[in-house]
A and B are shown apart, each in its own frame.
Chain A
């Protein structure tokens, strides 16, 4: 079945550092890929998405490119802020069920 693998956390960075969170997937066909963010005590919010190979999703300074050849969708941000501290989930869409398969999540802690 479909699966998503994310790098283990927590990731601890200083403010203005460069962020990369790795995500790889296994799926049949051509899934759509997503990054969700979860702030403490809240539900998940869609951060960005990409629906086909070589698409780049971007939002709030975050970017991720759909790489079919490496089955990856790594999340990047050039300069993180304390307010970016959260848990980030990579996910793919199972079009058969129209539901999401999530990675295990990566906690990001940004220090002032």
Chain B
């Protein structure tokens, strides 16, 4: 399995509190992604990174920020959590950034289940 560790795996918190999720990889891959998974929506891209300190928004980025200060870590922060951000969050990594041209598919972590009360 690809070396991806998400932490924490489960978290329950209250509305209005800040939350940071961590994705750590040991593969030295350039691209990292944060998705959220919700019933009826599949996975939706929140933010992604194409290098250290290089990040861009996905389709559901409102209310989220990210940081990548070193290759192996990609942090997702909810500055002031809301109940609508209750979800399962997945990190993914990719060596080349394009699944089409690479024999290495986009690898996913095991997810973080976040509940905001």
Contacts and interface: CB of A to CB of B under 8 A. Distances in A.
B114 to A, nearest CB: 15
Nearest to A106: B42
A89 B42 contact: yes
B41 interface: yes
B110 A102 contact: no
17 contacts: A1-B59, A32-B100, A42-B110, A43-B90, A43-B108, A44-B43, A44-B90, A44-B92, A45-B108, A46-B99, A46-B106, A49-B100, A99-B48, A100-B45, A100-B106, A103-B42, A104-B40
B17 to A, nearest CB: 26
Interface string B4-37: 1000000000000000000000000001010000
Interface residues of A, number: 26
B108 A93 contact: no
Contacts, number: 64
Interface of B: 4, 31, 33, 40-45, 48, 50, 56, 58-59, 90, 92, 94, 97-100, 105-111
A61 interface: no
Contacts of B90: 43-44
